[in-house]
Amino acid sequence: MKTASMAASLLIPLCLCILLLRGASAVSDQQEAGRRDSCDRIDRRIRALEPTRRVDSEAGHTELYDDRDGQLPCAGVAAARITIQRNGLLLPSYSNSPRLAYIVHGRGIVGVVIPGCPETYQETSSSSSQEQEDDERRRRGRRGDEERRRSSEGEEEEEEETSRRSFEQSIRDEHQRITTVRQGDVVAIPAGAPFWVHNDGDSPLVAISVHDVSNNANQLDQTSRRFRLAGGQARSEGRQRYGEGESSESETERGGEESYNILSGFDTELLAESMRVSPDIARKLQGRSDKRGNIVRVRRGGLRMLRPATERVTDEEMMRGANAAAAAGNGIDEAVCLMKLRENVADPMKADLYTPNGGRITVLNSQKLPVLKLIKMSVNRGVMRRNAILAPHWNINAHAAVYATSGSARLQVVSSEGRRVFDGELRRGQMVVVPQSFAVAGRAGDEGFAWVSFQTSDGAMNAPVVGKSSALRGMPADVLDNAFGVSREEARMVKFGRGQELAIFSPKSGAAARRRRSPGHRDDGVLAAPA
């Protein structure tokens, strides 16, 4: 054998391995990491969840959905309902897992700080000379104390103080963009990104928030941890551990433990020096004596911040603004910094799925809101009329945490063994998990039913059992005939009985109602107008 040809023949059959390897290194996955907590108990029984713990703050409260059935741990999620009173401020915090929040009621302002992104809202002093004077006056009042303290720290400090003072005169403030939210909005908050919320409306702001603790983004264990950047002592409401049996009890005890903001964990001297502020200020940041809780009342009538003039800016406008600012940053790719974090799912005209006399569903996935690709969650918003039927289906690639925003429905959830693990009313304010693959169906109550469903995949899919594009319709009638022991005609009834209806079916009286309405009619977002 010749050396040259041998070397060649050595290389040729490597194709196989290299092609494989090449595939391996290519891009990658958007399905979730396997969720490994036990789902044993959900094969037995699931119950509708009510909040079990409430943490009160100065200007609002947080209600936590704890859970003994194991449905939330099985789904790898944690849920809370947050109520912020008028003029309240939810203090900044971040978490080890991403979350989606749905605004159930009210309006407000959300600031999500994406680390590393530029402060694109900037105000220079010339823009607001009135405020500057106010500040100047206040500053003079305090100057005495500070100067006395500082003079003992040597001449270097003075130099810095001078430069800082001149700096304050040129830039009054700057921060990352803020987002206005209102009822029906979904807000996406990535893992590790701090955020705060301010209620600048006239009524309480209520949000239901679901953390995806099993998300790839979380490299800690299946515990939802909240890291508060400000605020004082609180019970550890933001840390929900899901373990086996007894540990979840011990968790409840631990729930009574004191929790502080993360700055309080640092040595005051170190913190002061790292911020170049006085130890007094550092001590205030640590907030050990602050008793206001996580939601505080904004002082002096309202939160001043930089905002575009119009109340509700279009996203295009916001992006243009940010774009221009970021463009100054030398061609940095601003994709992440500009990602839209909010989308409304309440507008009936934007529904993805509509059944006359039945209801509508609006899907929000990563196709519509690209940040969900990062967060790997999606949301469905559904509204059903009185007695309408939620068609039997299962979730193919996600769990769903379903929260009832109004009305009620009787839902049934069925396990792999054909056991009805949930059979009950889901009422306004309650939550239930429909685990992946489990079958679910239901019927809206007399007041109709509206819900928001948080799903643990950014492209959650479900498979209907009957109706359009359904499992049964995808099979030959003869398969159904033999499978169910029905006649071929009956098999066709099963396949085609619901015609073109999908997801939400009209109730029995639907046909009559249909005749009484004009064909172009759309329901108006008000629930359950009786037909």
Residue 85 interacts with a copy of itself (CB under 8 A): yes or no: no
Please identify, using beta-carbon distances, which residue of 28 and 518 lies nearer to a copy of itself.
Answer: 28
The correct pick among 180, 183, 209, 397 for binding a copy of itself (CB under 8 A) is 397
Q: Among positive and negative, which fits the CA dihedral 361, 429, 77, 203?
A: positive
DSSP string, 271-332: HHHHHT--HHHHHHHHTTT--S-SEEEPSSSS------SSSS--HHHHHHHHHHHHHTTTT-
For a copy of itself, the binding residues in 46-65 under the rule CB under 8 A are: none
C-beta of residue 357 within 8 angstroms of C-beta of residue 513:
yes
Write out the binding residues for a copy of itself, residues 2-21 only, by CB under 8 A: 2-3, 6-21
Query: Alpha-carbon distance 445 to 528, whole Å?
Result: 9
Q: Does 502 bind a copy of itself (CB under 8 A)?
A: yes
Q: Which residue has the tokens 């990104």?
A: 193
Pick the closer one to a copy of itself by CB: 67 or 429: 67
Shortest Å, Cβ 83 to a copy of itself: 18
Which of 62, 199, 365, 408 is the binder for a copy of itself (CB under 8 A)? 365
Task: Report which of 193, 200, 201, 199 is spatially closest to residue 177, judged by C-alpha positions.
Answer: 193
Structural tokens at position 12: 């040729």
Residue listed under structure tokens 């409304």 = 344
The burial of 269, by beta-carbon neighbours within 10 Å (0-12 exposed, 13-18 middle, 19 or more buried), is given as exposed
Amino acid at 512: A
> Of the two residues 161 and 447, which places its CB atom closer to a copy of itself in the complex?
161
Task: Give, as ranges, the residues between 175 and 204 that touch a copy of itself (CB under 8 A).
Answer: 175-176, 178, 191-194, 196, 198
Least distance between a copy of itself and beta carbon 453 (Å): 14
| Residue 100 touching a copy of itself (CB under 8 A) | no
Judged by CB under 8 A, the residue of 493, 521, 522, 530 near a copy of itself is 493
b/e for 292-324, b at 16 or more Cβ within 10 A? Answer: bbbbbebeeeebeebeeeeeebeeeebbebbee
CB of 400 to a copy of itself, least distance (A): 11
Binding mask 305-324 for a copy of itself (x = CB under 8 A): xx------------------
Using CB under 8 A as the binding rule, whether residue 162 contacts a copy of itself is answered as no
Please, which residue, 319 or 353, has the CB nearer to a copy of itself? 353
Cα separation, 378 vs 367, whole angstroms: 10
Tell which positions 406-435 bind a copy of itself, by CB under 8 A. 412, 414-420, 423, 435
Q: Does 531 bind a copy of itself (CB under 8 A)?
A: no
Contacting a copy of itself (CB under 8 A), which of 245, 279, 474, 530?
A: 474
Q: Is 152 in the site for a copy of itself (CB under 8 A)?
A: no
User: Which residue from 81, 107, 211, 241 is in contact with a copy of itself, where contact means CB under 8 A?
Assistant: 241
477 near a copy of itself, rule: CB under 8 A: yes
For residue 197, give Cα distances in angstroms to 90, 262, 266. Answer: 5, 19, 25
The owner of tokens 């600031």 is 111
Q: How many CB atoms lie within 10 A of CB 149?
A: 13
Tokens 């009620």 sit at which residue? 408
Q: Is 30 in the site for a copy of itself (CB under 8 A)?
A: yes
Q: Is 488 in the site for a copy of itself (CB under 8 A)?
A: yes
Q: Say how far apart CA 306 and CA 131 lie, in whole Å.
A: 13
Contacts of 113 (CB under 8 A, 6+ apart): 92, 176, 193, 194, 195
Longest dimension (CA), the chain: 97
Report the distance separating Cα 514 and Cα 356, nearest Å: 7
Could you tell me if 95 and 191 are in contact, meaning their C-beta atoms sit under 8 angstroms apart? Answer: yes
| Number of amino acids touching a copy of itself (CB under 8 A) | 236
Stretch that binds a copy of itself, among 202-210, 308-316, 360-368, 401-409 (CB under 8 A): 360-368
Cα separation, 266 vs 274, whole angstroms: 11
> Of 103-132, which residues contact a copy of itself (CB under 8 A)?
111, 113-119, 121-122, 124
Query: How do strand 359-364 and strand 378-384 relate by DSSP bridges?
Result: antiparallel
* Identity of the residue, 392 or 448, whose beta carbon is nearer to a copy of itself in the bound complex: 392
Instruction: Specify the residue, 52 or 437, whose C-beta has the smaller distance to a copy of itself.
Output: 437
**Which of 498, 523, 527, 528 is close enough to bind a copy of itself by CB under 8 A?**
498
Question: Which amino acid, residue 321?
Answer: G
How far is 212 from 456, CA to CA, in rounded Å?
Answer: 7
CB of residue 59 vs a copy of itself: minimum separation in angstroms? 10
In the complex, the smallest distance separating the C-beta of residue 315 from a copy of itself, rounded to whole angstroms, is 18
Among 299, 301, 349, 516, contact with a copy of itself (rule: CB under 8 A): 299
Q: Please report whether residue 270 would count as binding a copy of itself according to CB under 8 A.
A: yes
Candidate residues 40, 50, 249, 446; the one interacting with a copy of itself per rule CB under 8 A: 40
Stretch near a copy of itself under the rule CB under 8 A, chosen from 45-53, 341-349, 480-488, 521-529: 480-488
CB of 249 to a copy of itself, least distance (A): 15
Shortest Cβ 93–a copy of itself spacing (Å): 9
